[in-house]
Amino acid sequence: MIPDKVVARIAARAAKEALATHTDTSAAHAKLAGPRASVTVGSGTARLGLTLDLPYPVDLAGVSRQLQHDVSERVAHLTGMRVTEVTLAIEHLIPADGLEDRRVQ
């Protein structure tokens, strides 16, 4: 059996790769925190939880679905486990023009 910690690292890396593929991170990329993963492994299955930042604007629903699919497929391929669930917690939306202070006028 593969330890939870190893599966979590695989999931975080898969999420990072999927983000690079499915989002335009050019302007906000440096400000995005790397994805973090938590995993529960049991009897050949894995449940994944990802916490991540996304660039803004972005199609939240579309990118979320694609991330869930890509991470699930990649983890299953690399570990041989069946991924039963991938939950996402989007911690921050990072504006494409950075994090400078904004004022409403």
Q: Is the CB of residue 41 less than 8 Å from the CB of residue 80?
A: no
Q: Is residue 90 part of a domain?
A: yes
Q: Which domain range does residue 68 map to?
A: 4-40+55-95
Question: How much is the pLDDT for 71?
Answer: 98
Number of structural domains (the chain) is 1
Q: Is residue 31 part of a domain?
A: yes
Q: Is residue 101 part of a domain?
A: no
Q: Which has more pLDDT, 28 or 40?
A: 40
Q: Is residue 87 part of a domain?
A: yes
Q: Is residue 29 very low, low, confident or very high in pLDDT (cuts 50, 70, 90)?
A: low
Average pLDDT, whole number, for the chain? 87
Does the pLDDT of residue 61 top 70, yes or no?
Answer: yes
Q: Which has more pLDDT, 88 or 1?
A: 88
The structure tokens listed for 80 are 């041989």
Q: Is residue 45 part of a domain?
A: no
Q: Is residue 22 part of a domain?
A: yes
Q: How far apart are CA 43 and CA 4, in angstroms?
A: 12
At 74-105, the pLDDT tens digits run: 999 999 999 999 999 999 998 876 545 555 55
What 3-state DSSP class applies to 78?
helix
Question: How much is the pLDDT for 24?
Answer: 67
Q: Is residue 105 part of a domain?
A: no
Q: Is residue 102 part of a domain?
A: no
